[in-house]
Amino acid sequence: MERFTLDNGLRVVLAPDTSVPVVAVSVFYDVGMRSEPEGRTGFAHLFEHVMFQGSANVPKMEHARLVQAAGGTFNGSTHQDYTNYFEALPAEALERALFLEADRMAAPAITEENLRNQIDVVKEEIRVNVLNRPYGAFPWLQLPQIAFESFANTHDGYGSFVDLESSTVEDAKDFFDRYYAPANAVLCLGGDLDVTETEKLVRRWFDAVPHRAAPPTPYTGEPSPTGPRHGVVVDALAPAPAVAIAWRVPDPVADLDTYLGTVLLSELLSEGDASRLELRLVHRDHLAVAQSSYVGLFGDPFDVRDATTLTTQVHHPADVTPDRVLAAVHEEIEKVAQDGVGRDELTRVQARTSAQLLRGADSVLGRTLGFASAELIHGRAELAGELAARLAAVTPEAVQHAARGLVPDTAAVLELRTAEKGTTR
């Protein structure tokens, strides 16, 4: 792996891999949902859409046409702590992708027409994915409001219609100037590339992007809660009630080793038919029809900064009270906290988690995205390739220690009730 930094501050990571004649190009900007100012909720996601509407030398829709004409694919996504854009193409099309990403890094087409059009697109996404879908906001948009205090951690990252509709071209240009500076980004290239030639191509296309100072990384940490928190929402579309429980966990960056014990604990609790909560809630006590546990708002434990949570969500029959579900969840966690976890059970969980990581890194694009995320969040692209081994080294004692931190007294609980049960407990 090679790295260098351009004069404009752009950090570049090259990860050659000649096993297949494919290259992946990814640009990660250090701006996500938690970067949004008050009054501009949803702006990070909205701007991701705007970045696909053309740029100084690329008309609208031309980005897609040029990538697909070369036999490639492209996309982008918005996360809590970053926004990314990426392409996977045949190796001979590398320069085409570099040109496209450099052009929109320098001058996206921020116009009134493009902004209004994409606001409408995002509003329709919200209608389809949240407002008109059972459990559409549960728990990812609703639980943070209970689990956290700060605006960065509690606001609706999809955005309110009021904030979206009141956005102006000036707001969008200011957002671009502030957060889309080369010094606030990581360019990661992987696949069948020659390091020397690729550096020349990167400099050819990205050196001309003007330097702008990177904004301070937004502080998203919060003091740990000292008491329980509880909330209730009513979902008129939901066929059955549900409950979600969130516990604050160690800092994913500053305390990664301790955090890894929490990641494995979440897997031990709920992944697979042999997991603790699956056996207890679904198969033995019939308290649930489905359950899951995960670390990070989107279940992305390795590309999120502090503060974050381990969340357990359970969908349960209407004749089962949330209190029975909560009691069973806390009992299973307490068993791990008191009795620990056997080496065989932990080895099984570690193997499953490592396999998931390796599957994600199976393609050139998957590996490149992992390197880029690790570089941006942790400052070390190499970490992406080390995680499986580091998880394998986690001890039973570390998982037991993680369980001891998930106490009822500091949990945030969100009940989702159906319309029929919305006024009862």
Distance CA 394, CA 81 (A): 26
Same fold for the pair 2-207 and 229-418: yes
**pLDDT over 60 at 78, yes or no:** yes
**pLDDT over 70 at 424, yes or no:** no
> What is the structure's pLDDT at 421?
59
Give tens-digit pLDDT for 119-165.
999 999 999 999 999 999 999 999 999 999 999 999 999 999 999 99
Distance CA 422, CA 416 (A): 8
Give tens-digit pLDDT for 18-42.
999 999 999 999 999 999 999 999 9
- C-alpha closest to that of 125 among 159, 152, 156: 159
Give tens-digit pLDDT for 231-274.
999 999 999 999 999 999 999 999 999 999 999 999 999 998 98
- C-alpha closest to that of 309 among 80, 85, 128, 86: 80
56: its two tokens: 């100084």
Average pLDDT taken over every residue of the chain = 96
Asked if 23 contacts 198 with a C-beta cutoff of 8 angstroms, the reply is no
Percent of the chain at pLDDT > 90 equals 95
Residue 32 to residues 47, 84, 175, 208, 358: CA-CA distances in angstroms?
Answer: 10, 9, 12, 25, 26
374: number of Cβ within 10 Å: 23
DSSP secondary structure letters along 367-425 = HHHHHHHHHHHHS-TTHHHHHHHHHHT--HHHHHHHHHT--GGG-EEEEEEEGGGTT--
- Grade residue 420 by pLDDT with cuts at 50, 70 and 90: confident
- Grade residue 17 by pLDDT with cuts at 50, 70 and 90: very high
Asked if 184 contacts 31 with a C-beta cutoff of 8 angstroms, the reply is yes
What's the number of CA atoms in the CB half-sphere (13 Å) around residue 171? 21
**pLDDT over 60 at 422, yes or no:** no
CATH superfamily of 229-418: Metalloenzyme, LuxS/M16 peptidase-like (3.30.830.10)
Q: Is 61 helix (H, G, I), strand (E, B) or coil?
A: coil
Burial of 251 (0-12, 13-18, 19+ CB in 10 A): middle
The full set of domain ranges for the chain reads 2-207, 229-418
Paired residues of 359 in beta bridges: none
What's the number of CA atoms in the CB half-sphere (13 Å) around residue 360? 17
> What is the structure's pLDDT at 423?
42
In this prediction, residues 81-103 reach a mean pLDDT of 98
Q: E strands within 91-241?
A: 185-191, 229-235
Asked if 325 contacts 408 with a C-beta cutoff of 8 angstroms, the reply is no
Kindly report the CATH number that applies to the domain delimited by 2-207.
Answer: 3.30.830.10
Query: Residue holding tokens 């390091």?
Result: 195
* End-to-end Cα distance, the chain: 56
